[in-house]
Structure 1
């Protein structure tokens, strides 16, 4: 099914189709003043006979011209200021045109719809039940309260690597029919990658949060931040520090997220409909302010039976023949016996990708 949506006024910026040039505006004002004075002269014949006929060009003096230009400049200045993008070069103003008219957010219409989404997600990854349940309650509340979009509390999933935390978040986005954006907190300056860097930094650019809204034309993505506990600090040459937590805190609070300001474009945007799924391998290193704004869930390790359910489910979705699924399960059992532990979901997913490739590869005659 196609998810219902609501269009929200995502940004306060104003789009004006055509802003006149100063010379054109001054000419229009001059012509209007000339017409007014000609009408006055025609309506006062005594004045015309006393002063003689005036040329239409003599009706506008040099003083009038100066005043008209000054008034036109003030009008254009106010017009530019009203757009909210007067500080941006034309190229950046053009890049913001997808925001014209607002952006859609996905909406949950009924609580039954929320039940169906949670059931489908749970069937795929039953070991992620605590996370699925937290989202389920949020979706039901969104429908019950008649919200224009869907919301659930920010999630912080703590568990061993490879149990499918990020995969679960992407599957959630699939079922909700919303875009995603992902950030690896260990492999990039996470704070700048998320929200962007203001002009003046050598790496000045918009962040993935704003870029996703512009690219996908959607105001309610799921933002996935992997290994959030390992994010480092970014320090400017002037000594100021920028941390991922500092960037996240105003976005995790709905009230402040409604008026969030993009550091790069320096415009306000309603990011309150973005939903957050963060992952960590342990609670060690997680700052208290971040923990206080999230539902923190300790996720269990995968068991062999759960991996088998996953392989069966994914094999059926990928239209793998039964012998291929059985061979994959057998290979997993051999790995478990040799290594003494359950392989990660990441490893099993790569095995399934390989099986799909082998099954679809043409056979030479």
Structure 2
């Protein structure tokens, strides 16, 4: 390294040569890491290479690889060993992640298909189509969506979220908030606990793709914009802590860019690209600060004809699922459809499953639907499966 001194020789001048060289080395290292990421991803899932855009999609940095844990006040070897294990994972995975759900005509066409299959979720689908148009303009994927679907129970809100995840081709995870007792599921447990573990956000962004990762592409690398579905968010139990506490940071773009898991507080990660879907039967109990961070959409009620179509589609799906297309009639009779049209989507599935099983036991080709126990209740909203 060349040291440059001032003309008087009293004070050293800025070492521009050394700085330039280190910057070039860092830039070269980043380029190699990005190319390595694309190559590994393309090899891991060649059939989806064009769909996900491994060779042309955007790559983002989710953490700074130069950050190291500070000195721990604890002298326990377990703490040092844990830090070493985390640093090993960081080196293995690298700081870059691909952005999935690459916007383009193909993705827009798949989303538009939801307008037919899920007609009462039209407003939600239109919102996603708008996000696709913006992402296409930026040359990236659908990122940072925060959508809360609310309405009557058993209407298919979670199913719609999972269908969207399938269309987008993103890794996803459903988190049942009714059983969550603290924010550890999202943001990890405190580092000082002996059995501390990172939360699902850190795991999906940093560890996905490694053996045992829950939300990575099959055999491949992590994605910067996975989708999390927070099911029944209004039922979270606040008795032993606030399970929604981490959302105040994760749902705000500025703070999500420096999200620090409690189990790994020394390594902030960029979680601003994560997509969030939440479902709720009633949003009145949610804190206004949480609601303000979501786009709230309530599905429209379904017509009787749409409910009949739902029942027919679900029936055919079940015939294919159980390999019964040659054993049972391919379509339900009109009276069966009329009875199912008085049920919620959840009840339609349950009733059809039981009725198909009964037809098999009695060696009948015709599936008969019993009269609903409560046919006078208000017709709920739902989806066309």
The answer for the alignment partner of 2:84 in structure 1 is 90
Query: How far 1:244 sits from its partner (Å)?
Result: 3.3
**Is 2:333 aligned against 1:300?**
no
| Structural mapping, 1:168-179, within 5 Å | 168-179=160-171
Alpha-carbon shift at residue 345 of structure 1 (Å)? 2.2
CA drift of 1:307 comes to 2.7
1:3 equivalenced with 2:8 (yes/no): no
| Cα distance in 2, alignment partners of residues 174 and 156 from structure 1 | 18
Query: What is the CA-CA distance between 1:295 and the residue it aligns to?
Result: 0.9
Instruction: Classify 1:302/1:89 alpha carbon distance in 2 versus 1 (closer, same or farther; 3 Å).
Output: same
The 3-state SS of whatever aligns with 1:277 is strand
Following the alignment from structure 1 to structure 2, what is the Cα–Cα distance between the partners of residues 102 and 359?
54
Q: How far off is 1:190 after superposition?
A: 5.2
User: Taking structure 1 as reference, are residues 203 and 344 closer, same or farther at Cα in structure 2, changes over 3 Å only?
Assistant: farther
- Name which of 170, 186, 208 aligns with 2:200: 208
Q: Identify the residue that residue 147 of structure 2 maps to in structure 1.
A: 155
Task: Report how far residue 128 of structure 1 moved.
Answer: 1.1
Change (3 A) 1:90 1:282: same
Counterpart check, 1:102 vs 2:96: yes
Matches within 5 A, 1:188-267: 188-189=180-181, 191-201=183-193, 204-213=196-205, 214=207, 215=213, 216=216, 217-233=222-238, 235=240, 242-266=241-265, 267=267
Q: 1:131 aligns with which of 100, 124, 139?
A: 124
CA separation of 1:164 and 1:329: change in aligned 2, threshold 3 A: farther
Write the distance in 1 (CA, Å) between the matches of 2:85 and 2:358.
47
- Once the 2 structures are TM-superposed, how far is the Cα of residue 87 of structure 1 from its aligned partner? 8.5
Q: Is the 8 A contact 1:186 1:231 kept in 2?
A: yes
For residues 321-352 of structure 1, the C-alpha deviation after alignment (integer angstroms, 9 at most, x for no partner) is: 3954534875554355xxxxx32323333456
Does structure 1 conserve the Cα–Cα contact (< 8 Å) formed by 2:312 and 2:337? no
CA distance in structure 1 between the aligned counterparts of 2:314 and 2:260, rounded to whole angstroms: 41
Q: Which residue of structure 2 lines up, in the alignment, with residue 283 of structure 1?
A: 283
Indicate conservation of the 8 Å contact 1:163/1:301, yes or no. no
- Which of residues 138, 141, 144 is equivalent to 1:145? 138
CA contact (8 A) 2:148 2:295 kept: yes
Question: Unaligned regions of 5+ residues in structure 1, if any?
Answer: 17-76, 78-84, 236-241, 337-341
Structure 2 residue matching 1:106: 3-state secondary structure: coil
Residue 358 and residue 151 in structure 1: after superposition, are their counterparts in 2 closer, same or farther (change >3 A)? farther
* Higher mean C-alpha deviation, range 266-275 or range 294-303: 294-303
In structure 2, relative to structure 1, the CA distance for the partners of 1:13 and 1:360 (3 Å cut) is farther
Q: Does 1:116 align with 2:109?
A: yes
Q: Quick one: distance in 1 between partners of 2:106 and 2:283?
A: 34
How many residues end up aligned between the 2 structures? 282
- Asked if structure 1 preserves the Cα contact closer than 8 Å seen for 2:63 and 2:95, the reply is no
Moved more, 271-280 or 117-126: 117-126
* Greater share of residues in helix: 1
| Secondary structure at the counterpart of residue 199 of structure 1 | coil
**What is the TM-score normalised by the length of structure 1?**
0.66
Q: Which one has a bigger Cα radius of gyration? A: 1
Residues 166 and 329 (structure 1 numbering): CA distance in 2 closer, same or farther, change over 3 Å?
farther
- Following superposition, the deviation at residue 151 of structure 1 comes to 2.4
Cα distance change of structure 1 residues 295 and 356 upon mapping to structure 2, 3 Å threshold: same
Query: What TM-score do the two structures reach when normalised by structure 2?
Result: 0.63
Structure 2 unaligned residues grouped into runs of 5+:
1-47, 72-78, 208-212, 217-221, 364-385
Distance 2:357 2:87 in 1: 45
Aligned to 2:38: none
Equivalences for residues 313-332 of structure 1 within 5 A:
313-316=313-316, 319=320, 321=325, 324-327=329-332, 331=336
Q: Residue 311 of structure 1 contacts residue 329 of structure 1 at CA under 8 Å; is this kept in 2? A: no
Alpha carbons of structure 1 residues 283 and 15: separation in structure 2 relative to 1, 3 Å? closer
Q: 2:349 maps to what in 1? A: 349
Change (3 A) 1:101 1:202: closer
